[in-house]
Structure 1
Amino acid sequence: MLQATYGGWQNASMTRYFRDYADLCFEVFGDRVKHWLTFSDPRTMVEKGYETGLHAPGLRLQGTGLYVAAHHIIKAHAQAWHSYNTKWRSKQQGMVGISLNCDWGEPVDINNPNDIEAAERYLQFCLGWFANPIYAGDYPQVMKDHIGTKSAEQGLEMSRLPTFSLQEKSYIKGTSDFLGLGHFTTRYITQRKYPSHQGPSYQNDRDLVELVDPNWPDMGSSWLYYVPWGFRRLLNFAQTQYGDPPIYVTENGASQKLHCTQFCDEWRIQYLKGYINEMLKAINDGVNIKGYTSWSLLDKFEWEKGYADRYGFYYVEFNVRNKPRYPKASVQYYKEIITANGFPNPREVESWRLNALETCSINNQMLATGATAEMGSHLHLHLSEFRITLLFCFKNLCNVYFLGSENY
């Protein structure tokens, strides 16, 4: 309706409609919900919705549509934050933030100034695009410079990147009580100049190329590689860039490998160990991390991949009417991490892995023999326990709930 009638996020009026929607949510659920996310991964939403057309509304307004949509989303976020701050905060005592997904960008050659600048540009076009207006009042300077220059070279009188008025900059700056941060993998970045005559596009505006190391372990999805050290660097980058905000890691996980044993997700165990350990290092660095949520509890619908990409701790049999759920090995392993609040010592952590894989082998055998009724009862108990402990809290950083709901 909003897309068909008003043009969706291409229309500035969406900011008002979103504020009204947020107000309704605050009124109805605010007595229970104390951590709110206005938007989750808006960069993907605007890039695939208005640039490539892979996601709804399926538009290909290259080099323009995604910037307009992002501009309105940032202003909608600010309106929702101000509404909560003025009308609801005093009686509900909650917090409002935004969740931004970004991979880490590492220069191909750390001694090459062009690669260093390209990696910085990658991060600013990814994380800074939304975070900089919220924390500093305006788009990153490198975005304004690059898009403005290319727009002029393409014969346009104005930059394709919209501008905030002075009043809007002041209104948007500071509209976040915490930063939600999603992260999955890393890219090597090198500079590549794209001629302006190729036409406007988000990719060309960045003037860079993303590369991967062939030695990085493949985690299942074509884009996802195991590079845990990038997580620590991104967390430190966010802390430095945005004035040491409280950070909630809202997404971090690995998808299902093809042709694998259904429940024995050893690669996910490896991923969890590596990435959580790098996050603990970031905490020791001084990053103000308040909580961590792995992606995701269950196999679920994943963007244009549908149900093909499985990120869940619990395997869901989508072809069966009642959608039975089966624990993967990572369930047991992750519960041990939560219970220990980290990694006690290598020998004990290795025992977690072996015990988890033994459990998943038993579950696979039960599934193969059709013993689903007994298994289903066993699962329901563990799923209830797991809901309680899924959000990983660190020492002195507990009393944290799922963002958006205390009872997921």
Structure 2
Amino acid sequence: MKVLSLISVTCLIVEAFGASLPKAEINNRKFPESFKWGAATAAYQIEGGWNEDGKGESMWDHFTHTNPSVTDDKLNGDVACDSYHRWREDIQLLKQLGVSVYRFSVAWTRILPTGYLDSYNQAGVDFYVTFVKELLANGITPTATLYHWDLPQVLNEQGGWLNDSTADRFGEYARIVFKNLGPYVKLWSTVNEPKSTCMLGYGDGANAPGIKQIGTAVYQCARVQLLAHATAYHIYHNEFAAEQEGKISLVIDSTYNEPATDSEADVEATDWETQFNLGWYAHPVYVGNWPQIMIDRIGNRSALEGLPKSRLPAWSAEELEFVKGTHDYFGLNMYTALRVSAIDEPEIGDSSYYSDKGTATSFGADWTPSIASWLVVYPFAMRGLLNYVWNNYNPGEIWVTENGVATNATINDQFRVDYLQGYLSNMLDAILDDGVNVAGYTTWSLLDNFEWARGYTQKFGIISVDFTSENLTRTFKDSAKWYQRTVNTYCLVEECVE
């Protein structure tokens, strides 16, 4: 059975129940003056120009070219939003919105087309240097992601994120980017959503590179991506941070999890669910080692499967020390919430991450508009997750680097306005009432774009892109107009109390 991402399920609910849902009570206080507002995109999803100016083939280029049916509409990112050529127009859109931050990703294959140093491409470096300078000239702070899912195909053919050497290649690439963009970029993300990369690309095979090893490869993928993150972190701090004075961290995606009932079993299951999702990547970086429940459950099930060692790779003492503490802030992507239930221990059979975690998740008892409302603006969803991160990982500073929803609405996207307003209201509660230091927010996404296996069938942008027009016309949606007012007033409603 094909596993749908949580974002996909969210979109199915939106499509089923229309574009208007009951609103939660919205906070009418102002965000702190220091709060940074922004928007986010990723290279493969918007740039196009897939083989121009020396760019190499990424695994997503290869994945979509060799089998077009891997995307819902059989389309790819060859052109996407054509931002490789229209980036000046996009910067003006950001300026019009009034945001102070733009989160984008660097395409590894524009810098090192094969992933190796001997393929260095000056044209790719020059493109991004020119781009970030222009952002700054327009009063917009660039924040750069080093890896947003577009691995060089040459490295993919050598094992990709299952090969330890990929972490070394990532460090070499990161060093070049730090050297050239570091004078202008002061906030860095190493790897974006490693959980999604591993689960969708190496688990259920829906995303590139299309590997289906849900009980084994996903754990090795996690290990290598964490090593890659730590490698880039140490390079930055050992060689660049003193002079460039920037910050760098991993970006982790997670749901907010609530027990389906107040039973002790469901409460425990909710902790397991959180550890197998958020903790899987946060614990090695912020605490050290995998979460203990992962070590215990995967180890026990591996033994019962007759395996000589756990399917969860063990860290060496040196690796534990190398990964632990590699953070300057917490990068959090958050889209939705889940209810979690305890289940009977799954039978021993084919290895599976889902059997390993031993929980069941849902959006509620049935598919009704009220449940859709719970999903979108459930009280304390964003607040609950922010508090969990703040209290359990002590990161010092949190950036919400992605948050948004897809709708089919072209311009009149009131559903998205309700969604953003609800989640930002929860965020403001966490900031003002709970003392959580959320430094900034970059909504996903600036533009409608290529949404991976969904192709162009899901539209996350606050700005519409007409993919049928020759000029790929960009138009502000209602959500963009609402966001524009919000970032200018620091207020989620028409009038805030002082």
What interval of TM-score do these two structures reach, taking the shorter chain for normalisation? 0.7 to 0.9
- Deviation string, structure 1 residues 20-69 (Cα, Å, up to 9, x no partner): 01111101111101111001111010001111011111011220001001
- Deviation string, structure 1 residues 186-228 (Cα, Å, up to 9, x no partner): 0100011343423111111111111113344648xxx974435
Q: For 1:174, what is the secondary structure of its paired residue?
A: coil
Q: 2:117 is matched with which residue?
A: none
Residue among 337, 341, 344 paired with 1:186 = 337
The two structures have a TM-score, normalised by structure 2, of: 0.66
2:248 matches 1:248: no
Q: 1:154 is matched with which residue?
A: 305
**1:256-267 to 2 correspondence within 5 Å?**
256-257=407-408, 260=409, 262-267=410-415
Q: 1:28 is matched with which residue?
A: 180
Shift of 1:340: 1.6
8 Å CA contact 1:298–1:311 kept in 2: the answer is: yes
* CA distance, structure 2, for counterparts of residue 33 and residue 273 of structure 1: 29
* CA distance, structure 2, for counterparts of residue 4 and residue 286 of structure 1: 43
Q: 2:439 is matched with which residue?
A: 290
Shift of 1:5: 3.9
* CA distance, structure 2, for counterparts of residue 66 and residue 32 of structure 1: 35
Q: 1:88 is matched with which residue?
A: 240
Number of aligned pairs?
341
Shift of 1:168: 1.2
**1:359-398 to 2 correspondence within 5 Å?**
none
- Deviation string, structure 1 residues 141-169 (Cα, Å, up to 9, x no partner): 11111111111111112110011111111
Q: 2:495 is matched with which residue?
A: 348
Change (3 A) 1:239 1:106: same
Q: For 2:190, what is the secondary structure of its paired residue?
A: strand
Q: 2:470 is matched with which residue?
A: 321
2:164 matches 1:12: yes
Change (3 A) 1:5 1:275: closer
8 Å CA contact 1:38–1:77 kept in 2: the answer is: yes
Q: 2:274 is matched with which residue?
A: 123
Q: For 1:155, what is the secondary structure of its paired residue?
A: coil
Shift of 1:245: 2.9
- Deviation string, structure 1 residues 230-289 (Cα, Å, up to 9, x no partner): 1110000000110143100000111114xx4x2111111111111101000011201111
8 Å CA contact 1:108–1:190 kept in 2: the answer is: yes
8 Å CA contact 2:346–2:358 kept in 1: the answer is: no
* CA distance, structure 1, for counterparts of residue 217 and residue 375 of structure 2: 27
Amino acid in structure 2 at the alignment position of 1:92: Q
2:273 matches 1:273: no
Q: 1:106 is matched with which residue?
A: 258
**1:53-68 to 2 correspondence within 5 Å?**
53-68=205-220
8 Å CA contact 2:330–2:397 kept in 1: the answer is: yes
Q: 1:309 is matched with which residue?
A: 458
2:265 matches 1:97: no
Amino acid in structure 2 at the alignment position of 1:323: L
Q: 2:323 is matched with which residue?
A: 172
In structure 1, the gaps of 5 or more residues are: 350-394, 396-408
Change (3 A) 1:24 1:212: same
Q: 1:387 is matched with which residue?
A: none
* CA distance, structure 1, for counterparts of residue 377 and residue 359 of structure 2: 22
In structure 2, the gaps of 5 or more residues are: 1-152
8 Å CA contact 1:185–1:228 kept in 2: the answer is: no
8 Å CA contact 1:187–1:212 kept in 2: the answer is: yes
* CA distance, structure 2, for counterparts of residue 154 and residue 61 of structure 1: 16
Amino acid in structure 2 at the alignment position of 1:36: W
Residue among 79, 92, 97 paired with 2:231 = 79
CA RMSD in angstroms comes to: 1.8
The two structures have a TM-score, normalised by structure 1, of: 0.80
* CA distance, structure 1, for counterparts of residue 212 and residue 405 of structure 2: 29
* CA distance, structure 2, for counterparts of residue 224 and residue 59 of structure 1: 30
* CA distance, structure 2, for counterparts of residue 130 and residue 217 of structure 1: 29
* CA distance, structure 2, for counterparts of residue 10 and residue 43 of structure 1: 14
Shift of 1:342: 2.4
Q: 1:354 is matched with which residue?
A: none
Q: Which runs of 4+ in 1 moved over 2 A?
A: 1-5, 193-198, 213-219, 223-229, 346-349
* CA distance, structure 1, for counterparts of residue 156 and residue 198 of structure 2: 17
Q: For 1:204, what is the secondary structure of its paired residue?
A: helix
Change (3 A) 1:244 1:216: farther
* CA distance, structure 2, for counterparts of residue 244 and residue 99 of structure 1: 12
Q: 1:232 is matched with which residue?
A: 383
8 Å CA contact 1:244–1:288 kept in 2: the answer is: no
Shift of 1:347: 5.9
* CA distance, structure 1, for counterparts of residue 165 and residue 183 of structure 2: 29
Shift of 1:320: 1.3
Q: For 2:286, what is the secondary structure of its paired residue?
A: helix
8 Å CA contact 1:217–1:226 kept in 2: the answer is: no
Q: For 1:189, what is the secondary structure of its paired residue?
A: strand
Change (3 A) 1:347 1:81: closer
Change (3 A) 1:347 1:174: closer
Residue among 269, 292, 300 paired with 2:449 = 300
8 Å CA contact 1:297–1:313 kept in 2: the answer is: yes
Change (3 A) 1:347 1:289: closer
* CA distance, structure 1, for counterparts of residue 396 and residue 455 of structure 2: 34
Q: For 1:294, what is the secondary structure of its paired residue?
A: strand
Deviating more after overlay: 188-197 vs 70-79: 188-197
2:293 matches 1:142: yes
Q: For 1:90, what is the secondary structure of its paired residue?
A: helix
* CA distance, structure 2, for counterparts of residue 224 and residue 46 of structure 1: 25
Q: For 1:198, what is the secondary structure of its paired residue?
A: coil
RCO greater where, 1 or 2, for CA within 8 Å and sep 6 or more? 2
8 Å CA contact 1:19–1:76 kept in 2: the answer is: yes
Deviating more after overlay: 205-214 vs 224-233: 224-233
Q: For 2:450, what is the secondary structure of its paired residue?
A: coil
